Amino acid sequence: MSRYAVLLSLAVIWIGNPGELVRLQKGENIISYNPAQLCFSNRSFAFGVATAAYQIEGGWNASGKSESIWDRYTHTHPEWVYDHENADVATDSYHKAKEDVQLMRTLGVQFYRFSISWPRILPEGFNNKINEDGVRYYNELLDELEGNKIGALVTMYHWDLPQSLQDLGGWTNPIMADYFVDYARVLFQTFGDRVKTWLTFNEPLTFCHDGYGGGDAPGGRASGLEDYMCAHNVLRAHGMVYRMYKEEFDKDRQGYVGISLDMPWMEPASPSAADKTAAETARQFLFGWFAHPIFSTQGDYPPIMRQRIDAISRRQKFARSRLPSFTEAEIINIRGSYDFLGLNHYTTNLVKPGTGKISLKPSYDDDMGVKLTVNPKWPKSNSTWLRVVPWGFRKTLNWIKNTYNNPLVVVTENGVSLEKGLDDAKRVNYIDSYLRSLHAAIYKDGCDVVGYTHWSLLDNFEWMRGFSERFGLFEVDYRSPDRTRTARRSAHYYATVAKTGCLPDKHDYKY
Ligand code: GBH
């Protein structure tokens, strides 16, 4: 078997044990690539699992926690959720920190990506009142992780805005950026001694586009307006938090702040020039919207968004573009505000140009002007939007490498939803095929990826789909008061990957 060396600029991020140094090195290194056995080189590549506060914690009003926009939404409009459920209890992880960490221990993962609930830490939304029991819970979780030598990658915002702040306009209100900075400062002060790797936001595309532009909480349903306002303030907030962290908390440059952005691969529906252009436009609208201001050398919104939205706004007789403008100072503040890029990747779409019709009513879809489809032959999952297309992962990573000068990437989510059941061979195949694609992106193409996070540790509340879509390595029995967790076949498979750093032969793990 031919063994050959690939020269790549190696950047190592250690999502280490809390309390230990998190180190980042950039330099030249040689990693050997052996196609016979796919290994992720050495322990500098980390495997983890992810969850999010609202989806697992439960304890929605326990010990001082206030209402989030998702509590309000699911309580007032249960019929908007597929199975009319809510996450009042969810997997009850608020009472099961120890048990959850034990699950991770059996997986042998190097880190846990979880999110902190803003309304649990700051019930008023503001930093005038800190909820001690909220702090206690995350301290307990961090202690437990440390005791089990599992690192922490912490998301500050995974969609559960305090309702009190939504009452002030939420992310459409520019002042929200200041309140987010106040919240982030509390997190750095309280947990920053142990947590060295942070994500400001999870998927602003989803919570701005689906939440403010569409029907997800808080249900703004103002596409082409509120979604752009939300994104604008989120980007400002992200830049401000990054700078604040570096100035106030990270003098010795041992901490890392990034953001998680989601990107389905956008594949041209045909090799035609029109389809290729449409696919690139879609990438810029979906990913570039957030990535261009932060990760490109120019900063600011992608030129194609500026052009299209300005022009369409004019045709709709708006006095100004519906896409807000940054000040020069904001552009500079946001540009380069990252230590790494968090990528959430699940699936692929085919892209061709849209009809070109522009309605009078503002619409993000009209602004983007493309038509997204899938190849009906691509294997299905239990989510309509998610088809299994492993090669799209490699293309996504290469596009990021080429577009943003090969930034340091941590895959912060990847996974698949299936029916209930422990023998989830399809999930094993999904992970295996996506990891092969990731491996090629790193060792054949030189993409600078240093970590992989599986979504999810366990089944949880899947937003608008309630409990009907299951993404867990561990199955959760929602009918048992204990919310009993049971390892699926994929948990055994993933444990082998996480413990050895190599992809086993499919029959080479115990189940
Ligand atoms: C992630 O988003 C989330 O970060 C995570 O919380 C979630 O549990 C996980 O995915 C699994 O879904 O129903 O047709 O309107 C992934 C990106 C964006 C995919 C919103 C689903 C809704 C499509 N998601 N999208 S649709």
Task: Give the model confidence (pLDDT) of 269-321 as tens digits.
Answer: 999 999 999 999 999 999 999 999 999 999 999 999 999 999 999 999 999 99
Catalytic residue among 57, 85, 144, 203: 203
Q: If you measure from the C-alpha of residue 164 to the centroid of ligand 1, how many angstroms do you get, rounded to a whole number?
A: 25
- Gap between the Cα atoms of 468 and 90, Å rounded: 12
Q: If you measure from the C-alpha of residue 150 to the centroid of ligand 1, how many angstroms do you get, rounded to a whole number?
A: 26
**pLDDT at 34 (0 to 100):** 52
Which of 212, 260, 262 is CA-nearest to residue 232?
212
Measured in residues, the chain has a length of: 511
**pLDDT at 19 (0 to 100):** 31
Q: If you measure from the C-alpha of residue 201 to the centroid of ligand 1, how many angstroms do you get, rounded to a whole number?
A: 14
**Catalytic site residue 475?**
no
Q: What is the pTM of this model?
A: 0.94
Parts of the chain with a pLDDT under 70: 1-36, 42-43, 506-507
For 52-99, what is each residue's pLDDT tens digit?
999 999 999 999 999 999 999 999 999 999 999 999 999 999 999 999
Contact criterion met (CB below 8 Å) for 134 and 120: yes
Q: Is the peptide bond before 32 cis (omega within 30 degrees of 0)?
A: no
Amino acid symbol at 308: R
- Gap between the Cα atoms of 399 and 8, Å rounded: 17
**pLDDT at 42 (0 to 100):** 56
Question: What is the number of other CB atoms lying within 10 angstroms of the CB of residue 338?
Answer: 22
**pLDDT at 37 (0 to 100):** 75
**pLDDT at 15 (0 to 100):** 53
Q: Name residues whose C-beta falls within 8 Å of residue 338's C-beta, 6 or more positions apart in sequence.
A: 242, 257, 258, 259, 294, 295, 407
**pLDDT at 509 (0 to 100):** 78
Element (H, E) at 174: none
**Catalytic site residue 146?**
no
| Phi, psi (degrees; rounded to nearest 5) at 331 | -55, -45
- Gap between the Cα atoms of 465 and 461, Å rounded: 8
**pLDDT at 459 (0 to 100):** 99
Quote the Cα angle for 255-260-266, to 5°.
145
Query: Nearest residue CA, atom 11 of ligand 1?
Result: 462
**pLDDT at 44 (0 to 100):** 79
DSSP, residue by residue, 32-62: EE-TTS-B--STTSEEEEE--HHHH---TTG
For 191-205, what is each residue's pLDDT tens digit?
999 999 999 999 999
**pLDDT at 110 (0 to 100):** 96
- Gap between the Cα atoms of 170 and 38, Å rounded: 46
